[in-house]
Amino acid sequence: MKKITILDIIKMKAEGQKIPVLTAYDYPTAKVLDEAGIPLILVGDSAGMVFAGYKNTLSVTMDEMRYHTKAVAKGSKNALIVTDMPFLSYQVSIEEAKKNAGLLVREGAEAVKLEGGLIMADTINAIVDMDIPVMGHIGLTPQSVHRMGGYRVQGREKKQRKKLLNDARAVERAGVFCVVLEGMPTDLAKEITETISVPTIGIGAGPYCDGQVLVIHDVLGLYDDVQPKFIKRYANLKESISTAVNEYIDDVKKGRFPGREHSF
Ligand code: KIV
């Protein structure tokens, strides 16, 4: 397998190949995803919720994202690594955004992702001008949870729909190499996907996007604090871990572990 770059991701849309994306926050998970052939690993700020147990992504810091990025970069050989810019790391000024994007690249990110459409176009453009590729993220943007009044599907009304189409065109013009479409009606995501030239990566945005992204803890059944409709669970690791831990407790209590084979 060869090292994936942003050019390969862009080419996948041109060739009509779907793009599977998963999140990872640590070395062993990144290694498994990479070896399975995932072309793009997102070090998402969803780490704040599924890894650290925060109630939303707003408390995630640059230090935390740097730490996760370093671990994921160590575990991944071929996948393209994209790291989320956390809340407050890019909104205050373009200068701060550029510096923080650079710090994530120093830890091993090969691109950064930030939330927002037209309003973020100049920031995206400034980061792209530093030769750091940017992934856009529009629609339901979790860092805007308080403005949205919760995690609500965006773009159901005509005015909002027009705004999201404009946002998609604005981030494309600003130079993103691909864009996440989160929490929007299927037909709107389809229209955006057919309108812009860069790949769209959907989450809760229906089947017509060029790729799909899910949070690894949701896919593996490790996190059930919230369970949106768009999640598909492929394993139940919570149950597997619980069974294993109970067996271990039982073995220790009953003196079955350690056995001769584990002893010196
Ligand atoms: O933080 C994250 O994991 C994300 C994806 C779910 C798109 O932004």
Among 75, 71, 24, 13, residue whose Cα is nearest residue 50: 24
pLDDT value for 87:
98
Residue whose CA is at the smallest distance from ligand 1 atom 8: 44
Q: DSSP string covering 11-24, please? A: HHHHTT--EEEEE-
pLDDT in tens, 166-205: 999 999 999 999 999 999 999 999 999 999 999 999 999 9
Give the pair of three-digit tokens for residue 218: 């949701």
Q: How far apart are CA 112 and CA 85, in angstroms?
A: 6
6-233 falls under which CATH superfamily? Phosphoenolpyruvate-binding domains (3.20.20.60)
- What pLDDT, on a 0 to 100 scale, did the predictor assign at position 71? 98
Joined together, the tokens standing for residue 263 give 């002893």
Q: How far is CA 155 from CA 51, 72, 139, 186, 228, in A?
A: 29, 33, 7, 10, 18
pLDDT at residue 227, rounded to an integer: 86
Q: Where are the domains of the chain?
A: 6-233, 239-264
Q: Mean per-residue pLDDT for 47-67?
A: 98
CA distances from 160 to 3, 99, 114, 172, 253 (A): 39, 32, 20, 18, 60
Chain centroid to CA 127: 19
Per cent of the chain over pLDDT 70 is: 100
Give strand ranges (E) for 65-199. 80-84, 111-113, 134-139, 178-182
Any idea what DSSP says for residue 135? E
The verdict on the CB of residue 179 being under 6 Å from ligand 1 is no
Q: Which of 169, 171, 173 is nearest to 191 (CA)?
A: 169
218 lines ligand 1 (CB under 6 A): no
At 1 the pLDDT is 81
For ligand 1, atom 4, the nearest C-alpha belongs to 44
Q: Kindly report, residue by residue over 226-261, the tens digit of the pLDDT.
A: 889 999 999 999 999 999 999 999 999 999 999 999
**Which residues are tagged catalytic?**
182
Handedness of CA 66, 68, 72, 74 (dihedral sign): positive
Q: What is the pLDDT of residues 121-159, one digit of tens each?
A: 999 999 999 999 999 999 999 999 999 999 999 999 999
**Residue 74 banded pLDDT, cuts 50, 70, 90:** very high
Binding site membership of 213 for ligand 1 (Cβ less than 6 Å): yes
Q: Is the CB of 136 under 6 A from ligand 1?
A: no
